[in-house]
Amino acid sequence: MKIIFDSSVLIAAFVEAHPKHQDALAYLRKAGNREFTFLVPAHTILEVYSVLTGAPFKPRITPAIAKKMIDNNIRKIARVVYLSGKDYSDIIDKMIRAGLQGGIVYDAIIAACAEKSKANVLLTLNPHDFSRLGIRKSVKIISVCYVSILINIKALSSLSPAL
């Protein structure tokens, strides 16, 4: 199983105060335990660094700490997915054909990385952001929140009824 992480999941895993921290951290731990092939788009590493060092988190995350978090939790355990110059040009063409503009191009980069790496799952906190991109059906777009709900339902259903 190959799972590519959106920056939203990584940021939530790194920021304890994030409302989805525990759900995202569970996936990052599974990645660290090598329960699946952990994929990260190259540009996502910079996006994570930008958010970690630029957002008003308390306490502040310094550039040195952000780099250490990225090195220890992404660079050492993930397979980084890179795109070529042609890939970027193809993304722009796809955006034009779909009538899409603006920031969704960054989600399109993640989607292109998912397709290029033959990921089975694109893990995100924002599945609706990816739904308009026409990703191949072989890549399932899954919300961390949705998966956590399914896991909890499955755990509850396996319990014996109270006597």
- pLDDT at position 115 is 95
Which among 88, 18, 3, 22 has a CA at the least distance from the CA of 48?
18
Burial class (CB in 10 A: 0-12, 13-18, 19+), 56: exposed
- pLDDT at position 73 is 96
- pLDDT at position 150 is 42
- pLDDT at position 146 is 55
User: How far apart (Å, rounded) are the C-alpha atoms in residues 68 and 72?
Assistant: 6
- pLDDT at position 157 is 40
- pLDDT at position 148 is 46
Q: Where are the domains of the chain?
A: 2-157
Could you list the mean pLDDT of each consecutive 10-residue stretch along the chain, which spans 163 residues? 96 94 95 96 97 92 96 97 97 94 95 96 91 84 67 41 38
Please tell me the CATH code under which domain 2-157 is placed: 3.40.50.1010
Q: Taking the CA atoms of 65, 52, 114 and 102 in sequence, report the sign of the dihedral they define.
A: negative
